[in-house]
Structure 1
Amino acid sequence: MVLAEQPGRGMLLGAIGVFIFAVTIPMTRLAIGHGDSPQLDPLFITTGRAAVAGLLSALYLRFTGAPWPTRKQAQGLFLTGLGVVFGFPLFLALAVREVDAVHASVISGVLPLATAAVAALVLRQRPSIGFWACALLGLALVLAFAWWRGAAGFQAADGLLMLAVFSAAGGYVSGAGLSRQMSAEQVICWVLVMYLPLTAPLALLNRPQHEVSLAAWSAFAYVSLFSMWIGFFAWYRGLAIGGMVRVSQVQVIQPFLSMLLAVPLLGEELDAMTLVFALAVIAVVWIGKRMPVEQLR
């Protein structure tokens, strides 16, 4: 199935997906809890949210009569799952045990450039020198921010956040490519169903053995239903019909939204220097996304 490009609709769906994903960092932090009041284990959040969404996906695929993926598509689904089912959720959950959601949001600000860079490699494109300059500057900014927030030193959580960024970038590109062959809904549903025999048992093995607050369970419900499932319906479809490079630009605002949402949801503080770093990263990413990219033959 080859989808015709619809730039306007693609941008709208991409914006909806970005807003849903922007809530993911503060909600994951809420589900994890604080050091003096731990709630859900990172491995349970990772596998549990995928298992819940996987069960819903199985029902969706059954009732819509979706065709089975081809062997080649199954390979792409497997790679997509490594990034969005395991890589990003697990690395993020491990990181936000150590740093607040505002910190994680700034580091994740380079995700659009990472996505564009992975897309360029996969789609055999040659980004301009200006793009790579912006990519390096964006990376330098988040590293400088991490160094500053770590009191003149990096934290292990910063490395985990960078792994989360590149995991998500790979999963986004792989899933968006598949969304030009099958519906976006089927892509994320087949990914989740494929991994269900692994995620469901792991979720049961790592289920909480202590009392968990209603707020933490509510946050877990959000990342299961929206971050892991419904958000991808909009995001993958938007990337597929609006153009991967074009629509991914809307992702520039995601870290800013995450920071703003962390204030009312978690009671975190947004200081002036953090805001300056965030705006600088957003500006660099926005410029980088507008740099020319040559398609190789």
Structure 2
Amino acid sequence: MTAQDSATHPASIAVEGGGARGGTLLAALGVIAFSLTFPSTVWGLESFGPWSLVTLRSTLAALVAGAFLLVLRVPLPAREHRGGLAVVAGGVVIGFPTLTTLALGSATSAHTAVVVGLLPLTTAVFAALRTGRRPSRTFWAAALVGAAVVVAFAVQQSGGRLSAADLYTFGAVLVCAAGYTEGGRLAREMPGWQVVGWALVGCLPFAVVGAVVALPFEPVRLTAHGVTGLVWVAVGSTFCGLYVWYRGMAAIGVARASQLQLAQPLLTLVWSVLLLGEHLTAAAPVAAVAVLACIAVTQRART
């Protein structure tokens, strides 16, 4: 069997997930990579406008992915997979980065990270609707508690109402959950890195056109932080992070993997303090710890 054949052979896909423990580890590595996304985006905004940053991020990530696909001579995805790849591209590659970057223009990295804590519950709902699987009542109860904590935090921090940044973030959560769900399903039928790679490559023409249009109209002030932030969100979060994330989801399931992201807000709080020097309100770590407590319950609940 050739290397190309093994890349799509069912047995190789099973090995790729690495079993339940390996899948959990891979999904956790993805969460760590994602936890650095918001601080890196804030750094990137030091050098680029929001539209320039989003389009350059997608362009660089797509070039890296395209190089891997080309060198390994990966065939074009099957026709039946292309619709799902479009959903992944629209939600994860375009929608989430655009909306969260706009949110970070007026909200702190820490605040946005806690609001994104809604993503695990939303992904579990999408997964249940898409796959027909029904998580247990305990699973749903713990996920709903985590979601309630996040909503209460957002309202309290925004002075009793949701801000425009919160609305951007909620929109990002919805489109990202759809992309995660469809990507997790595809990762059971084709290698996870190819799901990410083809979704990124499919967005390349739009990203290039967007960058050409945005760059002349937004200021560019290159700094070490700005360039580092751009490189990380493009390669670290968008390509490498999604790669291990989809492999993990293929092994342990979308709903269970999504609950690991409840740890992401707490990790981002740490990076926001260490890398950005943000001052946390008392509610931020309390909310983050509360949703972390939900992880223990959801991970023990059968699906």
The two structures have a TM-score, normalised by structure 2, of 0.89
2:289 paired residue number: 279
SS in 1 for 2:222: coil
Q: CA RMSD in A?
A: 1.8
Give 1:192's aligned amino acid. L
1:58-96, CA deviations, whole angstroms, 9 ceiling, x for partnerless residues? 211111010111111111100111111111101100001
Aligned-partner Cα distance in 2 for 1:238–1:186: 14
Q: Identify the match of residue 29 of structure 1 among 31, 37, 42.
A: 42
> Taking every aligned residue pair, what percent have the same amino acid on both sides?
36
Deviation (angstroms), 1:252: 2.3
2:253 pairs with 1:253:
no
Deviates more, 1:219-228 or 1:104-113: 104-113
- Kept in 1, the 8 Å contact 2:153–2:283? The answer is no
Q: How many residues align?
A: 288
1:245-293, CA deviations, whole angstroms, 9 ceiling, x for partnerless residues? 3433332211110111110110001233221122122323543454444
Aligned-partner Cα distance in 2 for 1:154–1:89: 20
Deviates more, 1:252-261 or 1:129-138: 129-138
Do the aligned partners of residues 136 and 9 (structure 1) sit closer, same or farther apart at CA in structure 2, a change above 3 Å counting? closer
Aligned-partner Cα distance in 2 for 1:243–1:192: 22
Give 1:223's aligned amino acid. V
1:101 paired residue number: 109
Aligned-partner Cα distance in 1 for 2:250–2:114: 27
Give 1:231's aligned amino acid. G
Aligned-partner Cα distance in 1 for 2:112–2:149: 14
2:279 paired residue number: 269
2:231 pairs with 1:231:
no
2:87 paired residue number: 79
The two structures have a TM-score, normalised by structure 1, of 0.90
Match runs of 1:1-150 below 5 Å: 1-2=9-10, 3-4=13-14, 6-33=19-46, 39-150=47-158
Which structure carries more helix by proportion?
2
Aligned-partner Cα distance in 1 for 2:189–2:105: 38
- Kept in 1, the 8 Å contact 2:107–2:165? The answer is yes
Aligned-partner Cα distance in 1 for 2:227–2:259: 32
SS in 2 for 1:127: coil
1:194 paired residue number: 202
Gapped runs of 5+ residues in structure 1? 34-38
Give 1:251's aligned amino acid. Q
